[in-house]
């Protein structure tokens, strides 16, 4: 997936909510207490967007919550296909079928089996202000035959240090603690929900 550097003000990471028949749209959600996950437009990415065309590239960003001065450290999932979970629903709430590519890029996540597995497959990462990444065009991941307005739900997964079954957000602020931690687990964000328009 291609990336585009982007400096992002915390102002733009206030979640936008809009009540719809299918539910509540939310284009930015907390992944942990110190990380926010959102969806954005590729060419005017100045914060979360709530609507995309079915043939439009959707981008995602992950930023540290707060003033953007602290780097938050974590580990990535072993493959791109495990990084996100996503579903698309029509106006009647029926889930739309995925393409072969859609199934490839939405595999169930796996947890690290042991320390060797963690170090070998779950690569170190860290974020502060955010980088804009390509996610996908909806019509590449779903079979969308009819014109209309759909609702896309996307969840992001990362691997983080855990304490008592919860993300250790203090350890995530210190790269020595974050990367030395052996008690780690893959967590999943709440769903980001946005409109997809098929014209």
Taking 60 as the threshold, does the pLDDT of residue 3 lie above it?
no
| pLDDT digits 0-9 by tens, 85-110 | 999 999 999 999 999 999 999 999 98
H-helix or E-strand containing 177? helix 175-180
Q: Which among 79, 76, 82, 81 has a CA at the least distance from the CA of 109?
A: 82
pLDDT of residue 44: 65
Q: In angstroms, what CA-CA distances link 132 with 59, 98, 102, 120?
A: 6, 24, 21, 26
Share of the chain above pLDDT 70, in %: 83
| pLDDT of 191 higher than 70 | yes
* 8-state DSSP, 95: B
pLDDT at 7: 31
- Give me the residue spans of the domains in the chain: 3-198
pLDDT of residue 9: 33
Q: Is the pLDDT of residue 198 over 90?
A: yes
Token duo for residue 56: 């439009």
At 21, is the pLDDT very low, low, confident or very high (cuts 50, 70, 90)?
very low
pLDDT at 37 over 90: yes
pLDDT in tens, 130-146: 778 999 999 999 999 99
What pLDDT is stored for residue 46 in this prediction? 63
CA distances from 126 to 39, 97, 170 (A): 19, 34, 14
∠ CA(122), CA(77), CA(45), 5° rounding?
Answer: 125
pLDDT, averaged across the chain: 84
pLDDT grade for 184, boundaries at 50, 70 and 90: very high
**pLDDT tens-place string over residues 43-62:** 765 678 899 999 999 999 88
Which pLDDT belongs to residue 16? 37
Beta pairing, strands 131-136 & 148-163: unpaired
pTM of model > 0.85: no
The total number of residues written for the chain in this structure: 199
Structure tokens at 179: 């990367």
The continuous run of DSSP H or E covering 85 comes out as strand 84-89
């Amino acid at each position: 997936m291609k990336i585009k550097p982007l400096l992002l003000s915390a102002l733009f990471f206030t979640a936008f909510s809009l009540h719809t028949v299918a539910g509540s749209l939310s284009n930015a959600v907390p992944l942990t207490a110190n990380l926010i996950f959102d969806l954005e437009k590729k060419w005017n990415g100045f914060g979360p967007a709530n609507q995309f065309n079915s043939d439009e590239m959707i981008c995602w960003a992950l930023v540290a919550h707060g003033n953007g001065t602290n780097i938050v450290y974590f580990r990535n999932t072993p493959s791109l296909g495990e990084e996100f979970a996503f579903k698309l629903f029509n106006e009647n709430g029926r889930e739309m079928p995925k393409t072969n590519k859609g199934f490839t890029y939405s595999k169930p996540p796996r947890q690290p089996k042991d320390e060797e597995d963690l170090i070998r497959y779950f690569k170190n990462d860290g974020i502060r202000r955010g980088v804009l990444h390509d996610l996908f065009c909806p019509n590449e991941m779903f079979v969308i035959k009819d014109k209309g307005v759909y609702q896309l739900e996307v969840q992001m997964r990362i691997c983080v240090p855990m304490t008592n079954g919860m993300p250790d957000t203090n350890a995530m602020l210190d790269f020595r603690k974050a990367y030395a931690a052996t008690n780690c687990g893959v967590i999943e964000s709440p769903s980001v929900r946005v409109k997809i328009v098929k014209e």
